[in-house]
Structure 1
């Protein structure tokens, strides 16, 4: 679990995904379109993937992917991120974490 926390702090925005997950792709695209360049960890392509998956599960990430961290803090899954985006606070979170500049 410490490994996930450390990875979540590597950049202002971090997304744990699986390459076959359409919602993961949508969340990555949203971040790119907002001007963010998140660190993306494809857990199904990573040799530590199973360990990462278990750690995300222990952190309470349900569903496990996409798991989005902004400023080192767990924000939630696609549903949570889309809700934040619709209410306008996702952009503010990304600016505050210095993932995007305006």
Structure 2
């Protein structure tokens, strides 16, 4: 879906989320603790939310939300983000965006 690609490419760090999702909140807080202020798009507040969720699935987001994009590229959901964080790779991916907010 073009809307997903457009939003993800316009923002350095983008999280597609649902306002009631505890995993979405946890990933958002992780980024905050790392000095990143991601743009969070709550799809349950978007009239196109169902289509966005389907588009994210077609793009390869393996799990339920959140769907995290860094530099316009899909990183994945909670499992992928946490794996990157535990390996130390997430901080490297986020370096270009640490002073932006």
What's the TM-score, normalizing by structure 1?
0.91
Cα distance between partner residues in 1 of 2:47 and 2:33: 29
Corresponding position: 1:19 with 2:19? yes
Per-residue deviation at 1:99? 1.4
Cα distance between partner residues in 2 of 1:10 and 1:39: 10
- 1:56 equivalent in structure 2: 56
Per-residue deviation at 1:49? 0.8
- 1:46 equivalent in structure 2: 46
Write the mapping of 1:18-97 to structure 2, written as runs, cut at 5 A.
18-95=18-95
Runs of 4+ in 1 over 6 A off after TM superposition: none
Contact 1:14 1:38 in 2 (8 A): yes
Gaps of 5+ in 2: none
Q: How many residues align?
A: 99
- 1:3 equivalent in structure 2: 3
Cα distance between partner residues in 2 of 1:13 and 1:50: 22
Greater helix proportion = 2
Superposition RMSD in Å: 1.0
The secondary structure found in structure 1 opposite 2:40 is strand
Cα distance between partner residues in 1 of 2:68 and 2:26: 12
Contact 1:16 1:40 in 2 (8 A): yes
Per-residue deviation at 1:51? 1.6
